[in-house]
Chain A
Amino acid sequence: MNQNRNFEPQRFISPVVKNLKPSGIRRFFDLVANTKGVISLGVGEPDFVTPWHIREACVQALERGYTMYTSNLGLPELRKAIAKYLEERFGLSYHPDKQILVTIGASEAVDLALRTVINPGDEVLIPEPCYVSYKPITLLCGGVPVEVPTTQAHNFQPTPQEIEKRISPKTKLLILCYPNNPTGAVLDQETMMAIARVVEKHNLLVLADEIYAELRYDGPPVSFASLPGMQERTILVSGFSKAFAMTGWRIGYVAAHPELLAAMVKIHQYTILCAPIMSQMAALEALQQGLKDVAYMVEQYDQRRRLVVSRLREIGLDCFEPKGAFYVFPSIAITGLSSEEFAERLLKEEKVAVVPGNAFGPSGEGFIRCSYATSLQELMEALNRIERFVARHLRLAKAVAHG
Protein backbone atom coordinates (compact mmCIF):
# COMPACT_ATOMS: atom_id res chain seq x y z
CA MET A 1 0.00 0.00 0.00
CA ASN A 2 2.75 2.36 0.97
CA GLN A 3 4.27 2.22 -2.43
CA ASN A 4 1.06 3.56 -3.89
CA ARG A 5 0.80 6.48 -1.51
CA ASN A 6 1.78 9.02 -4.12
CA PHE A 7 -0.30 7.57 -6.91
CA GLU A 8 -2.46 10.37 -8.38
CA PRO A 9 -4.68 8.97 -11.12
CA GLN A 10 -5.72 12.45 -12.26
CA ARG A 11 -2.12 13.20 -13.19
CA PHE A 12 -2.28 10.46 -15.84
CA ILE A 13 -5.47 11.56 -17.55
CA SER A 14 -4.92 13.55 -20.70
CA PRO A 15 -5.93 17.21 -20.42
CA VAL A 16 -8.21 16.89 -23.46
CA VAL A 17 -10.19 14.15 -21.75
CA LYS A 18 -10.08 15.91 -18.41
CA ASN A 19 -11.57 19.00 -19.95
CA LEU A 20 -14.35 17.18 -21.79
CA LYS A 21 -17.63 18.20 -20.22
CA PRO A 22 -19.71 15.27 -19.03
CA SER A 23 -22.93 14.93 -21.00
CA GLY A 24 -25.63 17.27 -19.71
CA ILE A 25 -27.99 14.36 -19.81
CA ARG A 26 -26.04 12.30 -17.32
CA ARG A 27 -26.99 14.39 -14.30
CA PHE A 28 -30.62 14.38 -15.32
CA PHE A 29 -30.49 10.63 -15.88
CA ASP A 30 -29.58 10.02 -12.23
CA LEU A 31 -32.45 12.25 -11.14
CA VAL A 32 -34.95 10.31 -13.27
CA ALA A 33 -33.56 6.89 -12.36
CA ASN A 34 -34.09 7.69 -8.67
CA THR A 35 -37.75 8.69 -9.07
CA LYS A 36 -40.49 6.05 -9.05
CA GLY A 37 -43.53 5.96 -11.36
CA VAL A 38 -41.97 8.15 -14.05
CA ILE A 39 -43.24 8.21 -17.62
CA SER A 40 -40.15 8.92 -19.66
CA LEU A 41 -40.29 10.91 -22.87
CA GLY A 42 -36.54 11.15 -22.60
CA VAL A 43 -35.67 7.97 -24.43
CA GLY A 44 -33.73 8.24 -27.68
CA GLU A 45 -34.59 4.83 -29.09
CA PRO A 46 -37.63 3.06 -30.57
CA ASP A 47 -40.16 1.56 -28.16
CA PHE A 48 -40.55 -1.35 -30.58
CA VAL A 49 -38.53 -4.48 -30.00
CA THR A 50 -36.51 -5.63 -33.04
CA PRO A 51 -38.95 -7.48 -35.37
CA TRP A 52 -39.05 -11.20 -34.61
CA HIS A 53 -37.79 -12.41 -37.99
CA ILE A 54 -34.64 -10.31 -37.54
CA ARG A 55 -34.01 -11.70 -34.06
CA GLU A 56 -34.66 -15.18 -35.43
CA ALA A 57 -32.05 -14.66 -38.16
CA CYS A 58 -29.48 -13.96 -35.45
CA VAL A 59 -30.53 -17.03 -33.45
CA GLN A 60 -30.16 -19.15 -36.57
CA ALA A 61 -26.78 -17.68 -37.32
CA LEU A 62 -25.63 -18.63 -33.83
CA GLU A 63 -27.07 -22.13 -34.15
CA ARG A 64 -25.20 -22.63 -37.38
CA GLY A 65 -22.00 -21.56 -35.69
CA TYR A 66 -21.46 -18.07 -37.08
CA THR A 67 -19.25 -16.90 -34.24
CA MET A 68 -16.09 -15.81 -36.06
CA TYR A 69 -14.56 -12.54 -37.31
CA THR A 70 -15.68 -11.23 -40.65
CA SER A 71 -13.56 -9.22 -43.08
CA ASN A 72 -12.65 -5.77 -41.77
CA LEU A 73 -15.17 -4.20 -44.09
CA GLY A 74 -17.99 -6.50 -42.96
CA LEU A 75 -19.76 -9.46 -44.58
CA PRO A 76 -19.70 -9.10 -48.39
CA GLU A 77 -23.41 -10.04 -48.59
CA LEU A 78 -24.29 -7.32 -46.12
CA ARG A 79 -22.24 -4.69 -47.97
CA LYS A 80 -23.96 -5.71 -51.19
CA ALA A 81 -27.34 -5.41 -49.50
CA ILE A 82 -26.43 -1.97 -48.15
CA ALA A 83 -25.30 -0.83 -51.62
CA LYS A 84 -28.56 -2.10 -53.11
CA TYR A 85 -30.59 -0.38 -50.41
CA LEU A 86 -28.79 2.96 -50.90
CA GLU A 87 -29.33 2.67 -54.63
CA GLU A 88 -33.02 1.81 -54.45
CA ARG A 89 -33.97 4.12 -51.62
CA PHE A 90 -31.74 7.17 -52.25
CA GLY A 91 -30.55 6.77 -55.84
CA LEU A 92 -26.94 6.55 -54.61
CA SER A 93 -24.44 4.23 -56.17
CA TYR A 94 -21.60 2.90 -54.00
CA HIS A 95 -19.21 0.04 -54.72
CA PRO A 96 -19.79 -2.59 -52.01
CA ASP A 97 -16.11 -3.57 -51.86
CA LYS A 98 -14.53 -0.12 -52.01
CA GLN A 99 -17.02 2.35 -50.61
CA ILE A 100 -18.92 0.70 -47.77
CA LEU A 101 -17.72 -0.20 -44.29
CA VAL A 102 -19.85 -1.91 -41.65
CA THR A 103 -19.31 -0.33 -38.22
CA ILE A 104 -20.27 -0.73 -34.58
CA GLY A 105 -23.31 1.50 -34.87
CA ALA A 106 -23.36 4.87 -36.58
CA SER A 107 -21.43 6.07 -33.51
CA GLU A 108 -18.25 4.33 -34.57
CA ALA A 109 -18.74 5.65 -38.08
CA VAL A 110 -18.91 9.25 -36.81
CA ASP A 111 -15.79 8.70 -34.71
CA LEU A 112 -13.92 7.13 -37.63
CA ALA A 113 -14.87 9.89 -40.02
CA LEU A 114 -13.72 12.63 -37.68
CA ARG A 115 -10.49 10.86 -36.73
CA THR A 116 -9.73 10.24 -40.38
CA VAL A 117 -10.03 13.83 -41.55
CA ILE A 118 -9.40 16.15 -38.59
CA ASN A 119 -5.93 17.57 -37.98
CA PRO A 120 -5.24 19.52 -34.80
CA GLY A 121 -6.56 23.03 -35.35
CA ASP A 122 -9.02 22.12 -38.09
CA GLU A 123 -12.40 23.73 -37.66
CA VAL A 124 -15.59 21.69 -37.80
CA LEU A 125 -18.95 23.35 -38.38
CA ILE A 126 -21.65 21.86 -36.18
CA PRO A 127 -25.22 23.14 -36.48
CA GLU A 128 -26.85 23.04 -33.05
CA PRO A 129 -28.95 21.99 -31.21
CA CYS A 130 -27.67 18.57 -32.20
CA TYR A 131 -26.77 15.12 -30.98
CA VAL A 132 -24.25 15.31 -28.16
CA SER A 133 -21.26 13.42 -29.66
CA TYR A 134 -19.94 15.61 -32.47
CA LYS A 135 -18.34 18.27 -30.32
CA PRO A 136 -16.47 15.96 -27.88
CA ILE A 137 -15.17 13.74 -30.69
CA THR A 138 -13.96 16.79 -32.58
CA LEU A 139 -12.16 17.94 -29.44
CA LEU A 140 -10.61 14.50 -28.97
CA CYS A 141 -9.17 14.80 -32.48
CA GLY A 142 -7.70 18.19 -31.59
CA GLY A 143 -10.20 19.90 -33.84
CA VAL A 144 -12.06 23.09 -33.10
CA PRO A 145 -15.86 22.78 -32.99
CA VAL A 146 -17.58 25.84 -34.45
CA GLU A 147 -21.25 25.82 -33.59
CA VAL A 148 -23.80 27.12 -36.08
CA PRO A 149 -26.98 28.17 -34.28
CA THR A 150 -30.33 27.16 -35.73
CA THR A 151 -33.67 28.70 -34.81
CA GLN A 152 -37.33 27.81 -34.85
CA ALA A 153 -37.89 30.77 -37.18
CA HIS A 154 -35.94 28.83 -39.84
CA ASN A 155 -37.47 25.47 -38.90
CA PHE A 156 -34.26 24.55 -37.11
CA GLN A 157 -32.40 24.32 -40.43
CA PRO A 158 -28.94 25.86 -40.63
CA THR A 159 -29.10 28.75 -43.08
CA PRO A 160 -26.36 28.98 -45.71
CA GLN A 161 -25.60 32.52 -44.46
CA GLU A 162 -25.03 31.36 -40.87
CA ILE A 163 -22.77 28.59 -42.16
CA GLU A 164 -20.79 30.82 -44.51
CA LYS A 165 -20.28 33.47 -41.84
CA ARG A 166 -18.33 30.96 -39.76
CA ILE A 167 -16.10 29.59 -42.50
CA SER A 168 -12.39 30.35 -42.11
CA PRO A 169 -9.32 29.08 -43.96
CA LYS A 170 -9.15 26.37 -41.28
CA THR A 171 -12.68 25.07 -41.84
CA LYS A 172 -12.59 21.52 -43.13
CA LEU A 173 -15.85 19.79 -42.39
CA LEU A 174 -19.56 20.47 -41.99
CA ILE A 175 -21.62 18.02 -39.95
CA LEU A 176 -25.25 17.60 -40.97
CA CYS A 177 -27.58 15.45 -38.90
CA TYR A 178 -31.01 15.58 -40.54
CA PRO A 179 -33.66 14.43 -39.68
CA ASN A 180 -32.35 15.98 -36.52
CA ASN A 181 -32.06 14.86 -32.96
CA PRO A 182 -33.34 16.75 -30.87
CA THR A 183 -35.55 19.00 -33.02
CA GLY A 184 -37.05 16.55 -35.55
CA ALA A 185 -36.16 19.09 -38.26
CA VAL A 186 -35.40 18.01 -41.81
CA LEU A 187 -33.62 19.92 -44.57
CA ASP A 188 -35.86 21.11 -47.37
CA GLN A 189 -34.63 20.81 -50.94
CA GLU A 190 -33.90 24.51 -51.30
CA THR A 191 -31.79 24.68 -48.14
CA MET A 192 -29.90 21.55 -49.12
CA MET A 193 -29.07 23.00 -52.54
CA ALA A 194 -27.90 26.27 -50.98
CA ILE A 195 -25.75 24.45 -48.41
CA ALA A 196 -24.27 22.30 -51.20
CA ARG A 197 -23.24 25.47 -53.05
CA VAL A 198 -21.48 26.79 -49.94
CA VAL A 199 -19.73 23.45 -49.46
CA GLU A 200 -18.53 23.44 -53.04
CA LYS A 201 -17.46 27.07 -53.02
CA HIS A 202 -15.30 26.64 -49.91
CA ASN A 203 -14.09 23.16 -50.80
CA LEU A 204 -15.45 21.52 -47.65
CA LEU A 205 -16.22 17.97 -46.69
CA VAL A 206 -19.61 16.95 -45.26
CA LEU A 207 -20.28 14.37 -42.58
CA ALA A 208 -23.94 13.45 -43.11
CA ASP A 209 -25.27 11.54 -40.12
CA GLU A 210 -28.47 10.16 -41.63
CA ILE A 211 -29.34 7.63 -38.96
CA TYR A 212 -32.94 8.95 -38.90
CA ALA A 213 -33.31 9.08 -42.71
CA GLU A 214 -36.10 6.50 -42.84
CA LEU A 215 -38.19 8.31 -40.24
CA ARG A 216 -39.64 10.97 -42.54
CA TYR A 217 -43.26 12.11 -42.42
CA ASP A 218 -43.32 14.54 -45.34
CA GLY A 219 -42.27 12.25 -48.17
CA PRO A 220 -39.63 9.72 -49.12
CA PRO A 221 -36.20 9.89 -47.46
CA VAL A 222 -33.51 12.02 -49.09
CA SER A 223 -29.74 11.87 -48.64
CA PHE A 224 -27.51 14.93 -48.77
CA ALA A 225 -25.10 12.80 -50.81
CA SER A 226 -27.65 12.60 -53.61
CA LEU A 227 -27.29 16.31 -54.42
CA PRO A 228 -25.33 17.19 -57.55
CA GLY A 229 -21.60 17.03 -56.85
CA MET A 230 -22.07 16.07 -53.21
CA GLN A 231 -21.54 12.31 -53.21
CA GLU A 232 -17.74 12.51 -53.37
CA ARG A 233 -17.66 15.23 -50.70
CA THR A 234 -20.01 13.46 -48.33
CA ILE A 235 -19.14 10.87 -45.75
CA LEU A 236 -22.52 9.21 -45.36
CA VAL A 237 -23.16 7.64 -41.97
CA SER A 238 -26.20 5.54 -41.20
CA GLY A 239 -27.27 2.38 -39.42
CA PHE A 240 -30.04 0.08 -38.33
CA SER A 241 -30.78 1.36 -34.83
CA LYS A 242 -33.59 3.81 -35.44
CA ALA A 243 -35.27 2.56 -38.62
CA PHE A 244 -35.30 -1.14 -37.75
CA ALA A 245 -35.48 -0.77 -33.96
CA MET A 246 -32.05 -2.37 -33.56
CA THR A 247 -30.27 -0.07 -31.11
CA GLY A 248 -28.72 -2.76 -28.92
CA TRP A 249 -27.21 -4.62 -31.89
CA ARG A 250 -24.69 -1.82 -32.44
CA ILE A 251 -24.62 -2.06 -36.19
CA GLY A 252 -24.17 0.79 -38.66
CA TYR A 253 -22.21 1.69 -41.73
CA VAL A 254 -20.36 4.42 -43.55
CA ALA A 255 -20.31 5.04 -47.29
CA ALA A 256 -17.75 7.37 -48.83
CA HIS A 257 -15.29 8.08 -51.61
CA PRO A 258 -12.99 5.03 -51.99
CA GLU A 259 -9.88 6.93 -50.83
CA LEU A 260 -11.63 8.32 -47.75
CA LEU A 261 -13.09 4.92 -47.01
CA ALA A 262 -9.71 3.21 -47.32
CA ALA A 263 -8.33 5.67 -44.78
CA MET A 264 -11.19 4.97 -42.38
CA VAL A 265 -10.69 1.22 -42.79
CA LYS A 266 -7.11 1.66 -41.54
CA ILE A 267 -8.35 2.94 -38.18
CA HIS A 268 -11.21 0.46 -38.05
CA GLN A 269 -8.95 -2.55 -38.65
CA TYR A 270 -6.66 -1.64 -35.77
CA THR A 271 -9.26 -0.49 -33.27
CA ILE A 272 -12.33 -2.63 -33.96
CA LEU A 273 -11.30 -5.34 -36.43
CA CYS A 274 -14.90 -5.96 -37.45
CA ALA A 275 -18.51 -5.57 -36.34
CA PRO A 276 -19.97 -8.62 -34.55
CA ILE A 277 -20.99 -11.26 -37.08
CA MET A 278 -24.34 -12.07 -35.44
CA SER A 279 -25.39 -8.44 -35.63
CA GLN A 280 -24.28 -8.36 -39.25
CA MET A 281 -26.40 -11.43 -40.02
CA ALA A 282 -29.40 -9.75 -38.38
CA ALA A 283 -28.77 -6.54 -40.33
CA LEU A 284 -28.72 -8.54 -43.56
CA GLU A 285 -32.12 -10.01 -42.73
CA ALA A 286 -33.37 -6.49 -41.87
CA LEU A 287 -32.44 -5.17 -45.31
CA GLN A 288 -33.77 -8.22 -47.14
CA GLN A 289 -37.09 -8.66 -45.34
CA GLY A 290 -37.52 -5.76 -42.94
CA LEU A 291 -38.58 -2.75 -44.98
CA LYS A 292 -42.25 -3.55 -44.38
CA ASP A 293 -41.55 -3.36 -40.64
CA VAL A 294 -39.98 0.05 -41.14
CA ALA A 295 -43.10 1.23 -42.98
CA TYR A 296 -45.31 -0.04 -40.16
CA MET A 297 -43.25 1.65 -37.45
CA VAL A 298 -43.06 4.92 -39.38
CA GLU A 299 -46.87 4.91 -39.66
CA GLN A 300 -47.18 4.41 -35.90
CA TYR A 301 -44.68 7.19 -35.14
CA ASP A 302 -46.49 9.50 -37.54
CA GLN A 303 -49.83 9.00 -35.78
CA ARG A 304 -48.28 9.70 -32.41
CA ARG A 305 -46.38 12.69 -33.81
CA ARG A 306 -49.58 14.34 -35.00
CA LEU A 307 -51.29 13.67 -31.69
CA VAL A 308 -48.40 15.02 -29.61
CA VAL A 309 -47.90 18.19 -31.65
CA SER A 310 -51.63 19.05 -31.54
CA ARG A 311 -51.91 18.33 -27.83
CA LEU A 312 -48.81 20.39 -26.98
CA ARG A 313 -50.22 23.31 -28.97
CA GLU A 314 -53.58 22.95 -27.20
CA ILE A 315 -51.74 23.00 -23.91
CA GLY A 316 -50.34 26.35 -24.98
CA LEU A 317 -46.76 25.47 -25.89
CA ASP A 318 -45.43 26.83 -29.16
CA CYS A 319 -44.47 23.68 -31.01
CA PHE A 320 -42.57 23.45 -34.26
CA GLU A 321 -43.85 20.68 -36.53
CA PRO A 322 -41.14 18.04 -36.77
CA LYS A 323 -40.99 16.22 -40.10
CA GLY A 324 -38.54 13.51 -39.11
CA ALA A 325 -37.02 11.36 -36.32
CA PHE A 326 -39.22 10.71 -33.26
CA TYR A 327 -38.82 13.90 -31.27
CA VAL A 328 -40.84 17.05 -30.73
CA PHE A 329 -39.10 20.18 -29.53
CA PRO A 330 -41.66 22.56 -28.05
CA SER A 331 -40.76 26.01 -26.75
CA ILE A 332 -41.42 26.43 -23.04
CA ALA A 333 -40.76 30.20 -23.08
CA ILE A 334 -44.37 30.93 -22.09
CA THR A 335 -43.83 29.35 -18.65
CA GLY A 336 -40.96 31.68 -17.82
CA LEU A 337 -38.86 28.68 -16.79
CA SER A 338 -35.46 27.72 -18.14
CA SER A 339 -35.15 24.35 -19.90
CA GLU A 340 -33.54 22.74 -16.88
CA GLU A 341 -36.01 24.23 -14.41
CA PHE A 342 -38.89 23.04 -16.55
CA ALA A 343 -37.51 19.51 -16.87
CA GLU A 344 -36.64 19.20 -13.19
CA ARG A 345 -39.95 20.55 -11.92
CA LEU A 346 -41.97 18.51 -14.39
CA LEU A 347 -40.18 15.44 -13.13
CA LYS A 348 -40.70 16.34 -9.47
CA GLU A 349 -44.28 17.57 -9.72
CA GLU A 350 -45.78 15.33 -12.40
CA LYS A 351 -43.28 12.49 -12.85
CA VAL A 352 -42.72 13.00 -16.54
CA ALA A 353 -39.16 12.97 -17.85
CA VAL A 354 -38.18 15.14 -20.82
CA VAL A 355 -34.71 16.31 -21.80
CA PRO A 356 -33.82 20.00 -21.38
CA GLY A 357 -33.10 21.50 -24.81
CA ASN A 358 -29.85 23.13 -23.75
CA ALA A 359 -28.30 19.66 -23.36
CA PHE A 360 -28.03 19.74 -27.17
CA GLY A 361 -26.43 23.16 -27.53
CA PRO A 362 -27.00 26.78 -26.51
CA SER A 363 -29.77 27.30 -29.10
CA GLY A 364 -31.77 24.58 -27.36
CA GLU A 365 -32.31 26.82 -24.31
CA GLY A 366 -36.01 27.57 -23.88
CA PHE A 367 -37.01 24.23 -25.40
CA ILE A 368 -37.49 20.66 -24.23
CA ARG A 369 -37.09 17.44 -26.18
CA CYS A 370 -39.94 14.93 -25.91
CA SER A 371 -39.60 11.56 -27.58
CA TYR A 372 -42.78 9.98 -28.89
CA ALA A 373 -41.17 6.57 -29.15
CA THR A 374 -43.48 5.56 -26.32
CA SER A 375 -46.75 3.61 -26.30
CA LEU A 376 -49.85 5.62 -27.16
CA GLN A 377 -51.30 5.01 -23.71
CA GLU A 378 -48.24 6.33 -21.89
CA LEU A 379 -47.96 9.23 -24.30
CA MET A 380 -51.54 10.35 -23.63
CA GLU A 381 -51.05 10.08 -19.87
CA ALA A 382 -47.80 12.07 -20.10
CA LEU A 383 -49.54 14.79 -22.11
CA ASN A 384 -52.30 15.04 -19.49
CA ARG A 385 -49.64 15.53 -16.84
CA ILE A 386 -47.81 18.16 -18.92
CA GLU A 387 -51.12 19.96 -19.40
CA ARG A 388 -51.68 20.12 -15.63
CA PHE A 389 -48.11 21.27 -15.08
CA VAL A 390 -48.19 24.04 -17.68
CA ALA A 391 -51.59 25.32 -16.52
CA ARG A 392 -50.31 25.54 -12.96
CA HIS A 393 -47.15 27.37 -13.95
CA LEU A 394 -48.98 29.77 -16.21
CA ARG A 395 -51.19 30.70 -13.25
CA LEU A 396 -48.11 31.14 -11.09
CA ALA A 397 -46.39 33.28 -13.71
CA LYS A 398 -49.51 35.45 -13.96
CA ALA A 399 -49.80 35.82 -10.19
CA VAL A 400 -46.17 36.92 -10.03
CA ALA A 401 -46.73 39.43 -12.82
CA HIS A 402 -49.74 40.91 -11.04
CA GLY A 403 -48.34 40.68 -7.53
Chain B
Amino acid sequence: MRKNILKLLEGNSKLSPKEIALMLGLPPDEVAREIAEMEKEKVILRYTTLINWEKVGEEEVAALIDVKVTPQRDVGFDEVAARIYQYPEVKSVFLMSGSYDLSVLVQGKSLKEVASFVAQKLATIEHVQSTVTHFILKKYKQDGVIFEEEITERRQVVQP
Protein backbone atom coordinates (compact mmCIF):
# COMPACT_ATOMS: atom_id res chain seq x y z
CA MET B 1 0.00 0.00 0.00
CA ARG B 2 2.79 2.44 0.98
CA LYS B 3 4.52 2.10 -2.36
CA ASN B 4 1.31 2.90 -4.27
CA ILE B 5 0.55 5.92 -2.08
CA LEU B 6 4.10 7.19 -2.50
CA LYS B 7 4.06 6.75 -6.26
CA LEU B 8 0.94 8.89 -6.51
CA LEU B 9 2.29 11.57 -4.15
CA GLU B 10 5.61 11.69 -5.96
CA GLY B 11 3.77 12.55 -9.16
CA ASN B 12 1.40 15.06 -7.55
CA SER B 13 1.84 16.08 -3.93
CA LYS B 14 -1.42 18.02 -4.03
CA LEU B 15 -3.55 14.85 -4.08
CA SER B 16 -5.65 14.62 -0.93
CA PRO B 17 -5.76 11.43 1.16
CA LYS B 18 -9.35 11.03 0.05
CA GLU B 19 -8.47 11.19 -3.65
CA ILE B 20 -5.60 8.77 -3.15
CA ALA B 21 -7.90 6.43 -1.26
CA LEU B 22 -10.45 6.49 -4.08
CA MET B 23 -7.83 5.83 -6.74
CA LEU B 24 -6.33 2.90 -4.86
CA GLY B 25 -9.60 1.52 -3.56
CA LEU B 26 -8.57 1.93 0.10
CA PRO B 27 -10.38 3.43 3.11
CA PRO B 28 -9.61 7.20 3.31
CA ASP B 29 -8.78 7.23 7.04
CA GLU B 30 -6.31 4.41 6.55
CA VAL B 31 -4.54 6.34 3.78
CA ALA B 32 -4.45 9.50 5.92
CA ARG B 33 -2.98 7.53 8.82
CA GLU B 34 -0.39 5.88 6.61
CA ILE B 35 0.71 9.23 5.17
CA ALA B 36 1.00 10.75 8.64
CA GLU B 37 3.12 7.83 9.76
CA MET B 38 5.39 8.11 6.73
CA GLU B 39 5.85 11.79 7.47
CA LYS B 40 6.83 10.92 11.03
CA GLU B 41 9.21 8.20 9.90
CA LYS B 42 10.78 10.61 7.40
CA VAL B 43 9.85 8.35 4.50
CA ILE B 44 8.15 11.45 3.16
CA LEU B 45 10.66 14.25 3.67
CA ARG B 46 8.98 17.21 2.05
CA TYR B 47 6.16 18.15 -0.37
CA THR B 48 7.87 20.05 -3.14
CA THR B 49 7.00 21.98 -6.26
CA LEU B 50 8.94 21.71 -9.48
CA ILE B 51 9.23 25.24 -10.85
CA ASN B 52 10.46 26.59 -14.13
CA TRP B 53 12.09 29.70 -12.65
CA GLU B 54 13.13 30.98 -16.04
CA LYS B 55 9.50 31.66 -16.82
CA VAL B 56 9.20 34.11 -13.92
CA GLY B 57 12.34 35.88 -15.05
CA GLU B 58 14.54 34.57 -12.27
CA GLU B 59 18.12 34.15 -13.40
CA GLU B 60 19.49 31.09 -11.66
CA VAL B 61 22.96 29.77 -12.24
CA ALA B 62 23.73 26.18 -11.33
CA ALA B 63 26.85 24.09 -11.64
CA LEU B 64 27.72 20.45 -11.18
CA ILE B 65 31.09 20.11 -9.50
CA ASP B 66 33.21 16.99 -9.57
CA VAL B 67 35.10 16.84 -6.31
CA LYS B 68 38.06 14.58 -5.61
CA VAL B 69 38.55 13.79 -1.97
CA THR B 70 41.10 12.01 0.21
CA PRO B 71 39.00 9.54 2.15
CA GLN B 72 39.27 9.70 5.94
CA ARG B 73 40.16 6.81 8.14
CA ASP B 74 37.05 5.12 9.64
CA VAL B 75 34.52 7.56 8.18
CA GLY B 76 35.50 7.41 4.52
CA PHE B 77 33.88 10.15 2.50
CA ASP B 78 31.00 10.89 4.86
CA GLU B 79 32.74 13.51 6.93
CA VAL B 80 33.90 15.52 3.95
CA ALA B 81 30.46 15.22 2.39
CA ALA B 82 28.94 16.55 5.61
CA ARG B 83 31.20 19.58 5.54
CA ILE B 84 30.06 20.28 2.01
CA TYR B 85 26.33 19.71 2.35
CA GLN B 86 25.98 22.09 5.29
CA TYR B 87 26.28 25.05 2.92
CA PRO B 88 22.86 26.32 1.83
CA GLU B 89 24.31 27.05 -1.64
CA VAL B 90 24.74 23.30 -2.09
CA LYS B 91 21.51 21.77 -3.40
CA SER B 92 22.59 18.16 -3.61
CA VAL B 93 25.58 15.95 -2.95
CA PHE B 94 26.11 12.46 -4.34
CA LEU B 95 28.92 9.95 -3.77
CA MET B 96 29.98 8.69 -7.19
CA SER B 97 31.78 5.72 -8.62
CA GLY B 98 34.45 6.45 -11.24
CA SER B 99 37.12 9.07 -11.67
CA TYR B 100 35.97 11.49 -8.98
CA ASP B 101 34.26 11.05 -5.62
CA LEU B 102 31.53 13.59 -4.91
CA SER B 103 29.15 15.27 -7.32
CA VAL B 104 27.95 18.57 -5.88
CA LEU B 105 25.15 20.71 -7.29
CA VAL B 106 25.65 24.37 -6.41
CA GLN B 107 23.17 27.11 -7.13
CA GLY B 108 23.66 30.85 -7.08
CA LYS B 109 22.47 34.15 -8.49
CA SER B 110 25.35 34.62 -10.91
CA LEU B 111 28.28 32.90 -12.53
CA LYS B 112 30.58 34.92 -10.33
CA GLU B 113 28.78 33.93 -7.16
CA VAL B 114 28.98 30.24 -7.95
CA ALA B 115 32.60 30.47 -9.07
CA SER B 116 33.66 32.24 -5.93
CA PHE B 117 31.79 29.77 -3.76
CA VAL B 118 33.72 26.96 -5.38
CA ALA B 119 37.07 28.71 -5.14
CA GLN B 120 36.71 30.08 -1.65
CA LYS B 121 34.53 27.59 0.19
CA LEU B 122 34.51 24.24 -1.55
CA ALA B 123 38.10 23.96 -2.78
CA THR B 124 39.52 25.06 0.52
CA ILE B 125 37.85 22.35 2.60
CA GLU B 126 40.43 20.04 4.14
CA HIS B 127 40.89 16.75 2.23
CA VAL B 128 39.36 18.16 -0.96
CA GLN B 129 42.03 17.46 -3.56
CA SER B 130 40.56 19.06 -6.63
CA THR B 131 37.37 20.39 -8.20
CA VAL B 132 36.10 20.55 -11.77
CA THR B 133 33.17 22.89 -12.33
CA HIS B 134 30.55 22.31 -15.07
CA PHE B 135 28.01 25.11 -15.46
CA ILE B 136 24.53 24.01 -16.45
CA LEU B 137 23.46 25.79 -19.62
CA LYS B 138 19.93 24.54 -20.10
CA LYS B 139 17.47 22.29 -18.30
CA TYR B 140 15.62 19.90 -20.56
CA LYS B 141 14.20 17.47 -18.06
CA GLN B 142 14.27 17.23 -14.30
CA ASP B 143 12.70 14.67 -11.97
CA GLY B 144 10.99 13.04 -14.93
CA VAL B 145 9.41 16.29 -16.12
CA ILE B 146 10.24 17.74 -19.53
CA PHE B 147 10.56 21.52 -19.19
CA GLU B 148 9.57 22.91 -22.54
CA GLU B 149 7.23 20.15 -23.63
CA GLU B 150 4.31 21.39 -25.61
CA ILE B 151 1.23 19.61 -24.39
CA THR B 152 -1.58 20.30 -26.78
CA GLU B 153 -4.62 18.11 -27.30
CA ARG B 154 -4.13 16.53 -30.68
CA ARG B 155 -6.95 14.02 -30.49
CA GLN B 156 -10.34 14.54 -32.12
CA VAL B 157 -12.69 15.98 -29.50
CA VAL B 158 -15.42 13.36 -29.80
CA GLN B 159 -15.08 9.85 -31.21
CA PRO B 160 -17.18 6.70 -31.20
- A residues contacting B by CB (< 8 A) are 23, 25, 28-29, 32-33, 38, 40, 42-45, 47, 131-133, 181, 303-304, 306-307, 310-311, 353, 355, 359-360, 376, 380
Contact = CB atoms under 8 A, between A and B. Distances in A.
Interface of B: 8, 12, 19, 22-25, 153, 155-160
Contact of A43 (B8, B19, B158): B158
A33 B160 contact: no
A396 to B, nearest CB: 26
A355 B157 CA distance: 11
B133 to A, nearest CB: 33
Contact of A42 (B19, B25, B157): B157
9 contacts: A23-B160, A33-B157, A38-B157, A40-B157, A44-B160, A45-B159, A306-B22, A307-B22, A311-B22
B9 to A, nearest CB: 13
A313 to B, nearest CB: 11
Given A303-B8, A376-B12, A310 B22 contact: yes
A29 B22 contact: no
A29 B19 contact: no
A353 B157 contact: yes
Nearest to A181: B160
Contacts of B24: 303, 306
B14 to A, nearest CB: 10
Contacts of B22: 306-307, 310-311
B157 A43 contact: yes
Contacts of B12: 376
Contacts of B160: 23, 25, 44, 131-133, 181, 355, 359-360
Nearest to B160: A132
A43 B23 contact: no
Nearest to A373: B155
Nearest to A31: B158
Contact of A32 (B8, B23, B25, B157): B157
Most A CB atoms within 10 A — which of B24, B25, B155? B155
Most B CB atoms within 10 A — which of A44, A307, A360? A307
Contacts of B19: 307, 380
Nearest to B25: A306
Contacts of B155: 43, 45, 47
Most B CB atoms within 10 A — which of A132, A133, A306? A306
